[in-house]
Structure 1
């Protein structure tokens, strides 16, 4: 029997990660990425946690929210 729960759960995880990324971006100089993961579904990743995103993470980024703070002043 097929179940839609994993699909709904995966979509919910995406929107939860998006909400986290949008909240973080408001108070960050760094971009916030939503990364697709086989085990977790989706999660938010702060670009400031890495000097440059490793290729294994870059290839799984599905959406980016730009950091909201400017470092020009």
Structure 2
């Protein structure tokens, strides 16, 4: 059985941000966060750009992808 669903701009921006975050995470030590923004929809943020995320950003995180690089060598 197949289902069909319409893709809204909000869900499209989420999946675009998810794709960016997954791609970045492969080459980063830092976690990649998908953050909800009222004006832009969703966007991907690199935790390394902010050190610890400020509270106003951390409260809007909807998904996190852990960085894939290891610093153990």
Structure 1: stretches of 5+ with no match in the other structure: none
Instruction: Please state which structure has a larger fraction of its residues in helix.
Output: 1
- Number of the residue aligned with 2:62: 62
TM-score by length of 1: 0.89
- Number of the residue aligned with 2:17: 17
TM-score by length of 2: 0.89
CA RMSD, 1 decimal: 1.3
Structure 2: stretches of 5+ with no match in the other structure: 1-5
Query: How many pairs align?
Result: 68
CA offsets, 1:3-45, max 9 Å, x none?
xx8x700000000000000000000000000000000000000
Matches of 1:61 and 1:44, distance apart in 2: 9
